[in-house]
Amino acid sequence: MSRQYTVAVVGATGAVGVEMIKVLERRNFPVGKLVLLASARSAGKTLPFKGELVTVEELTEDSFVGVDIALFSAGSGISRKFAPLAVKSGAVVVDNSSEFRMDPDVPLVVPEINGADVKLHKGILANPNCTTAITLMALNPLHQAFGVKRVIASSYQAVSGTGAQAIAELRSQVEAIAGGRPAEKSVYPHQIAFNVLPHIDSFLNNGYTKEEMKMQNEARRILHLPDFKASVTCVRVPVYRAHSIAVTAEFDRPVSVDEARKVLASAPGLELVDDPAKNSYPLPLYVAEKDDCQVGRIRIDCAFENGLAFWVAGDQLLKGAALNAVQIAELI
């Protein structure tokens, strides 16, 4: 019989935590015992796993005794405090927050791209930013073929990237407006229903947001390209689930649409959806709850030499978070 693991999910009741539990079950991860951890106010709730209900426990410093693998998705502060404690207890941590992503001692991994980096871990591995992961699923195969130099990108990010309260806020605003009532806001600085906000995460001194700089900084580590450049505008859109990114990429070598399509069609974890004559292109509505990302609208870029423009969409709760974390655990 193959080995069974004690797996902990930290932040089990959050949007990503719930997906992690589903992905562990769906991919038949060898879970001998599942430990669900969350804040004191969530302790005592139950969540389904393999036909049984598992009770959520309060996260404490002693929660990781006997745990083999700990999947964290409870924010940077929790990861900063508890991930080292989990490692001390003997667990390997896969962290979904931004806390360790730029730590040179922590591998930042997208399994289809740099899975071999898992071997370099010292107890903690990091999941990349969701928008970065989805973009790189399409960009990396093209990079392998043509050598990427720089990208200009705009993201169209779903409210579920902010969490469950943001989903509820969009829903209540849509219902309020449809009913002729004023839309109330608390999660975002402006109404999100029937609107788009060019503002995700906090602004930095260079005028970009933290979210926008993640694509350049994290891609450099994942692609092993220290000179990679990315100019990104991240936009929150009134979509419940799945992020989309419009990308213009410049490459070292000449590119063609036919070659690009061939490369993308054979890339793992990626589906080519590219038949504009039949109105066929990736849509967040149809990629939601799917493991694979989708890429389409592939064309030679008008402005860059050796440039390609394309559109990629993916479920940020899956490839952008829970699925990627479980895939890292599979490699461990």
Closest CA to 62 of 35, 25, 44, 26: 35
Distance CA 98, CA 122 (A): 17
Q: Tokens for 18, please give them.
A: 């719930």
**Angle formed at CA 70 by CA 138 and CA 79, multiple of 5 degrees:** 80
* Annotated active-site residue in 130, 143, 234, 293: 130
Distance CA 183, CA 185 (A): 7
**Angle formed at CA 135 by CA 158 and CA 233, multiple of 5 degrees:** 60
8 Å CB contact between 279 and 220:
no
- Annotated active-site residue 130? The verdict is yes
What dihedral do alpha carbons 253, 259, 261, 265 form, nearest 10°?
-100
User: Which residues, 6 or more positions from 114, have their beta carbon under 8 angstroms from its beta carbon?
Assistant: 107, 222, 223, 224
User: Which residues, 6 or more positions from 148, have their beta carbon under 8 angstroms from its beta carbon?
Assistant: 139, 142, 223, 225, 228, 249, 250, 251, 252
* Annotated active-site residue in 121, 234, 243, 293: 243
8 Å CB contact between 269 and 291:
yes
Distance CA 289, CA 242 (A): 8
Q: For residue 5, is it left (φ>0), alpha (ψ between -120 and 50) or beta?
A: beta
Closest CA to 57 of 71, 45, 73: 45
Closest CA to 68 of 50, 86, 82, 42: 86
Catalogue the active-site residues. Answer: 130, 243
